[in-house]
C-alpha cells in the first residue's frame, strides 16, 4: 500500500513510475486524492462536533451537581442534536475511509528507478551469469525420469494419496531434501540470520499485511472451517511477526530465516511448466527476511543477492541473475532479482530464488515502523528472498550431475547428506 502523503505530493511521479509496471494509475490516483480531501474535511467537521459535545457533557455534569435541573435539561436537548449530527458525519466518514482504502489497495508498489520497462519475462534484464554448463552425453534424463529410476521421488504415489503436485520423497531423495534444508539454514545462521519455525497457517490480517490478500486469494489454500490460509511462503508469517510493531532504530536490521513447507494452488498452470518438480502445490523453502532502515535497504538487497549467489556457487550450479522488468514485477515489489539455475536435461533455466525490496509497501499495510532516539515512528523497509526453494534446485542437481550409473552430490552437501552419490544400491 502506498503512502497517502507520498501520493499527495508526488502525483505525477507516481503515475509515471507506475506506467513502468504497465499500470495506468492516473484515474485511480486522482480519485484517491479527492477521497482523501473529502475524508479530511469530514473528519474536521466531526471533530468539531465532538469537541462541542464533550464540552456540553461536562457542563451538564456540573449543572446537575449545582442542582440546576432546568438548564441541564435544555443542555441535554442541545447535546442530543449535536450527537445526531455527529453520528451522521461519522457514518459519512467511515464510508469515505472505506472507499479510500478500497482504492488505495488497488495501487501496486512503485518500481525502483532501475527497473527496466517491459511486458513479460522476455524483457527481464540478465545482469549476471556464472558457472559452466555440464558436459553431458546425449542420452541424459530429465529429473522426473531420474527420480523414478533411482526411486528417490514418487510423483504417482503423491497423486494417489493427495493429488498432482504433492510428491513423496523417498530414501536418498528424502535425505537430500533434509540435507539441503539444513545446509541452507546453517549458511543463513553463519550470515547472521535468526532462525524461526513459523506456523504454516495464517489468518486474514497476516495475508493482508504482506499483500497476498485480497488480490491473490485464489492462490492460497483456505481452511474455511477456521478461516485460515496455508502459507504460500514463510515470508508471510515471518514478516507479520512485526505487524503493528514499532521497532527501535537500533534493532535494525532485523534478519530472520525460516524453513517451511509452502502451499500454492497454482491455478491455471499447465504443460512443461508443471512437469516433475518444476511446479508443485507443496514444496520446501528456506526464506530470508530483513527489516531494514529505508536509507540502507538497497544496499541490503545487494547483500542478500550476493548471499544467494554464494549458495548457488557452493552447490556448483550454473546460474544467472535477472533484474525483473516492470511487467514481470510483482504487485508488492519495488525491485526484484530472480535467480535461475540451468537444468541440463530440460535445457532450460529454472527460477530458484526471488529476492525483493518492498520498501514501505508491506510496512504501510501492516504498520511496521521504527523509531529513532528523538523522532516520530516511520515506516521500515521490508525485504525477503528465497535461500533457496528446494524443488528446482533438486531438479538441477539431479540433471546436471547425472552419469550412467548415478548422480553425484556436490561436496558442500556431503556432510549433510552422508553420501556422495545417488545410485541403485543405496536408494
Q: Which of 58, 160, 313, 348 binds RNA (CB under 7 A)?
A: 58
Whole-number minimum distance, CB 79 to RNA, in Å? Answer: 3
Nearest to 318 by CA among 136, 131, 135, 134: 131
Q: Which residues from 226-255 bind RNA, rule CB under 7 A?
A: 246
| Grid cell in block for residue 275 | 512437469
Whole-number minimum distance, CB 227 to RNA, in Å? Answer: 8
Interaction between residue 53 and RNA (CB under 7 A): yes
Interaction between residue 11 and RNA (CB under 7 A): no
Q: Which of 1, 32, 46, 334 binds RNA (CB under 7 A)?
A: 46
The site string for RNA over 361-400 (x = CB under 7 A, - otherwise) reads --------x-x----xx-----------------------
| Grid cell in block for residue 109 | 508498489
**Choices 79-87, 117-125, 136-144, 181-189; region in contact with RNA by CB under 7 A:** 79-87
**φ, ψ for residue 338 (rounded to 5)?**
-100, 145
Residue 122 CB contacts under 8 Å (≥ 6 apart), including other chains: none
Determine how many CB atoms are found less than 10 A away from the CB of residue 70.
Answer: 9
Q: Which residues from 92-111 bind RNA, rule CB under 7 A?
A: 94
**Choices 55-63, 188-196, 211-219, 385-393; region in contact with RNA by CB under 7 A:** 55-63
The site string for RNA over 189-208 (x = CB under 7 A, - otherwise) reads --------------------
Closest to RNA by CB, 94 vs 261, is: 94
Q: Three-state DSSP class for 312?
A: helix
Closest to RNA by CB, 19 vs 245, is: 245
CA atoms of 364 and 360, how far apart (whole Å): 6
CA atoms of 129 and 314, how far apart (whole Å): 15
Q: Is residue 107 within a helix (H) or strand (E), and if so which, with residue range?
A: none
Interaction between residue 312 and RNA (CB under 7 A): no
Gyration radius (Cα) of the chain, Å: 27
Q: Is residue 385 within a helix (H) or strand (E), and if so which, with residue range?
A: strand 381-389
| Strands annotated E in 34-189 | 125-130, 153-154, 168-169
Q: Which of 15, 79, 258, 361 binds RNA (CB under 7 A)?
A: 79
CA atoms of 205 and 113, how far apart (whole Å): 30
Q: Which of 9, 13, 27, 40 binds RNA (CB under 7 A)?
A: 40
Determine how many CB atoms are found less than 10 A away from the CB of residue 115.
Answer: 23
Interaction between residue 310 and RNA (CB under 7 A): no
**Choices 45-53, 261-269, 355-363, 388-396; region in contact with RNA by CB under 7 A:** 45-53
Closest to RNA by CB, 95 vs 129, is: 95
Q: Three-state DSSP class for 256?
A: strand
Closest to RNA by CB, 87 vs 415, is: 87
> For strand 194-196 and strand 381-389, is the pairing parallel, antiparallel, or unpaired?
unpaired
Q: Which spans of this chain sit near RNA (rule: CB under 7 A)? A: 40, 43-44, 46-48, 50-51, 53-54, 56-58, 60-62, 64, 76, 79-80, 83, 94, 246, 369, 371, 376-377
Amino acid at each position: 500500500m502506498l503512502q497517502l502523503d507520498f501520493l499527495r505530493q508526488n502525483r505525477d511521479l507516481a503515475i509515471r513510475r507506475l506506467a513502468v509496471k504497465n499500470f495506468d494509475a492516473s484515474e485511480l490516483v486522482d480519485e484517491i486524492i479527492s477521497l482523501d480531501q473529502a475524508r479530511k474535511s469530514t473528519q474536521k467537521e466531526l471533530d468539531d462536533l465532538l469537541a462541542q459535545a464533550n464540552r456540553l457533557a461536562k457542563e451538564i455534569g456540573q449543572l446537575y451537581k449545582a442542582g440546576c435541573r432546568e438548564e441541564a435539561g435544555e443542555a441535554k436537548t442541545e447535546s442530543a442534536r449535536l450527537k445526531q449530527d455527529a453520528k451522521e458525519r461519522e457514518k459519512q466518514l467511515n464510508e469515505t475511509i472505506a472507499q479510500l482504502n478500497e482504492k488505495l489497495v488497488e495501487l501496486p508498489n512503485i518500481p525502483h528507478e532501475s527497473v527496466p520497462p517491459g511486458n513479460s519475462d522476455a524483457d527481464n534484464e540478465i545482469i549476471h551469469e556464472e558457472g559452466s554448463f555440464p558436459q553431458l552425453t546425449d542420452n541424459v534424463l530429465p529429473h522426473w525420469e531420474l527420480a523414478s529410476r533411482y526411486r528417490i521421488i514418487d510423483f504417482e504415489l503423491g497423486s494417489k494419496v493427495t493429488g498432482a503436485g504433492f510428491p513423496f520423497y523417498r530414501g536418498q531423495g528424502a535425505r537430500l531434501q533434509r540435507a539441503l534444508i539444513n545446509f541452507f539454514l546453517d549458511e543463513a545462521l553463519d550470515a547472521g540470520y535468526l532462525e524461526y519455525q513459523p506456523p504454516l497457517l495464517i489468518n486474514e490480517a497476516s495475508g493482508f499485511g504482506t499483500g497476498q490478500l485480497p488480490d491473490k486469494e485464489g492462490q492460497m489454500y483456505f481452511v474455511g472451517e477456521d478461516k485460515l490460509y496455508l502459507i504460500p511462503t514463510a515470508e508471510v508469517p515471518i514478516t507479520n511477526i512485526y505487524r503493528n510493531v514499532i521497532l527501535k532504530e537500533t534493532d535494525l536490521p532485523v534478519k530472520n530465516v525460516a524453513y517451511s513447507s509452502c502451499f500454492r494452488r497454482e491455478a491455471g498452470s499447465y504443460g512443461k511448466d508443471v512437469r516433475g518438480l518444476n511446479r508443485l502445490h507443496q514444496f520446501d523453502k528456506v526464506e530470508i527476511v530483513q527489516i531494514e532502515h529505508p536509507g540502507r535497504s538497497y544496499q541490503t538487497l545487494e547483500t542478500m543477492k550476493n548471499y544467494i549467489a554464494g549458495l548457488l556457487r557452493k552447490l556448483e550450479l550454473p546460474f544467472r541473475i535477472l533484474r525483473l522488468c516492470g511487467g514481470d514485477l510483482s504487485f508488492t515489489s519495488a525491485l526484484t532479482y530472480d535467480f535461475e539455475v540451468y537444468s541440463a536435461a530440460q535445457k532450460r533455466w529454472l527460477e530458484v530464488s526471488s529476492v525483493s525490496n518492498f520498501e514501505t509497501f508491506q510496512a504501510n499495510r501492516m504498520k511496521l515502523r521504527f523509531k529513532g532516539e528523538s523522532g516520530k515512528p516511520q515506516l521500515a523497509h521490508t525485504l525477503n528472498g528465497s535461500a533457496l526453494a528446494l524443488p528446482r534446485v533438486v531438479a538441477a542437481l539431479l540433471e546436471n550431475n547425472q552419469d550412467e550409473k548415478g548422480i553425484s552430490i556436490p561436496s558442500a552437501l556431503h556432510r549433510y547428506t552422508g553420501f556422495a552419490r545417488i545410485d541403485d544400491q543405496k536408494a
